[in-house]
Amino acid sequence: MADERRSGLPPEQAAGAPADRLKERIYATITMIAVVVGLSLGEAGVTGALATVLTTALGLWLAAFVADQQAHRTVHGHLATGHDLRRMLYVSSPLLSCAVGPAVMISLAALDVLSLSVALTTAAGVGIASLFAWGCVGGMRMGGGVLPAVLAGFADAVIGVAVALVKTAAGH
């Protein structure tokens, strides 16, 4: 992180920050897929589903923030401030934003635009589609062409769904 600080770049442009942020987005997406699948298998109402999605996102973010601060304090002997704190907040923000899509879908169910079951299934489907899209983007950036990119997207989506199902089965 010292090299990033010396670069004078804002946290969102510092080396490694975009990759770290994407990692958090993918992790949060997989976790949110597990949450909405778990909710779809249960008896939660609209209010309970919305509360679960929002508290999950907040809990993920707080856990990451506390872990980042603790690691920074342990390594550097002080709490992260300034550039380090801004980078930490920038990188961890997808853990909060992962709740937006499911929250919108659940809100549509609250307004009787669609059923809660359809809202949760749609939220899971959008999460899976985003894993596929990130896999395709990664495959294209590696220069393999369209077919390998689509295969990478498919593999990422399948792995993401498998992890989400394991989390759901384990009750997380």
Which tens digits make up the pLDDT trace of 64-88?
999 999 999 999 999 999 999 999 9
Q: Which residues contact 48 (CB under 8 A, 6 or more apart)?
A: 39
Percent helix, strand, coil in the chain, to 5, is 80, 0, 20
CA dihedral over 30, 32, 36, 38, signed as positive or negative: positive
Tens-place pLDDT, residues 114-154:
999 999 999 999 999 999 999 999 999 988 899 999 999 99
Q: CA–CA separation, 122 vs 101, rounded Å?
A: 9
Q: CA–CA separation, 6 vs 19, rounded Å?
A: 19
Of 62, 53, 64, 59, give the one whose Cα is nearest residue 21: 64
Contact 120, 40 (CB under 8 A): yes
User: pTM (2 decimals)?
Assistant: 0.84
